[in-house]
Amino acid sequence: MTPPRRLAAFGLVVALAASAAACTSDPKDPAQVREERVQARIASTFSRSQATCIMKVLDAPTIAALDKTTALPAGSEALRIYSNAVVACTA
């Protein structure tokens, strides 16, 4: 084989291996995906350390509520928990 053919063959093997690995990997847990979306939103607003702190305080129902909307209902438990987390982690 000439060098360009070897390189092309190697590239094909790498592409096939990556494709096979992607097909056999387990799908992510929906709760994990939801948490990643919320974490990305929080990280876009707060510093890394603040976002990490906030995520540690939030519980699963609050994360689910934050994932559904950008405006939590006034007086809701999710808003209370989120607000307390923001105050505690940004003070």
Which percentage of the chain shows pLDDT scores above 90?
Answer: 65
Question: By three-state DSSP, how is residue 69 classified?
Answer: coil
Asked if 78 and 61 count as a contact pair (C-beta separation under 8 A), the reply is: yes
Residue 17 has pLDDT above 90, yes or no: no
- The backbone torsions φ and ψ at residue 46, rounded to the nearest 5 degrees and listed phi first, read -115, 165
Asked if 85 and 53 count as a contact pair (C-beta separation under 8 A), the reply is: yes
Domain extents for the chain?
30-90
Length of the chain: 91
Q: Is the overall model pTM greater than 0.85, yes or no?
A: no
